[in-house]
Amino acid sequence: MRVVSGSKKGHPLQAVPGKGTRPTVDKVKESIFNIIGPYFDGGLVLDLYAGTGGLGIEALSRGAEKCIFVDANRKAVGVILQNLDSTGLRGQAEVYRNDADRALNALKKRGIAFDIVFLDPPYAEQKIESQVAIMADHGLLVPDAMIVAEHDAGDKLREQIGSVVKVRETTYGQTTITIYQNEG
């Protein structure tokens, strides 16, 4: 696992020990960024269910200004911090150990709106549609914000959730990447 492109291109990333997380493989990560824009001129990113932090770190490497990482797993939070330190990106990050739904509630209170959101929950526990609805309904997304949801290929997500519309869906083996854009 490594940073695919940008200022930290080629930098290796640590994995979370055990089988509790499923990091996005480099090939899929590269495809995601080719779709949502290979490079960014600033912007705020949310990496919910961050795992190793690989997607958020990739966004920072490609020019995002700041990323908020959230994961409920203590070991994952430790690995995210380690990966941020090793890439020198910790100053552009906030890292929280929290349940995704509680984190969204806390972010609502802060009045933050994101340009890019990564949702890569454990497949058995995915609540992507309800979490996208919370973000859309509570102003957590800027106009034209992109949401990248990684989920089991057998799960079909709705075409539209409030102001958020599906713009692309691609399947890689057992994994589907669904990309939404906020039209609100």
User: Residue written as tokens 């990091």?
Assistant: 23
User: Residue written as tokens 């995002």?
Assistant: 64
79 by Cβ neighbours in 10 Å (0-12 / 13-18 / 19+) ranks as buried
pLDDT, mean of residues 137-142: 96
Nearest to 142 by CA among 167, 171, 163, 172: 163
DSSP E strands, 49-159: 66-71, 93-97, 114-119, 141-152
Does CATH place domain 26-182 in 3.20.20.70?
no
Distance, CA of 178 to CA of 157 (rounded, Å): 8
Specify the pLDDT at position 20.
61
Query: pLDDT at residue 163 above 70?
Result: yes
Nearest to 48 by CA among 111, 107, 4: 107
> What are the boundaries of each domain within the chain?
26-182
Predicted TM-score of the model (pTM): 0.94
Q: State CA 56 to chain mean position distance.
A: 6
Angle between helices 74-87 and 54-61 (to 10 degrees): 20
Specify the pLDDT at position 103.
96
Specify the pLDDT at position 89.
98
- Name the DSSP letter for residue 19: S
Least confidently predicted of 10-14, 24-28, 62-66, 159-163: 24-28
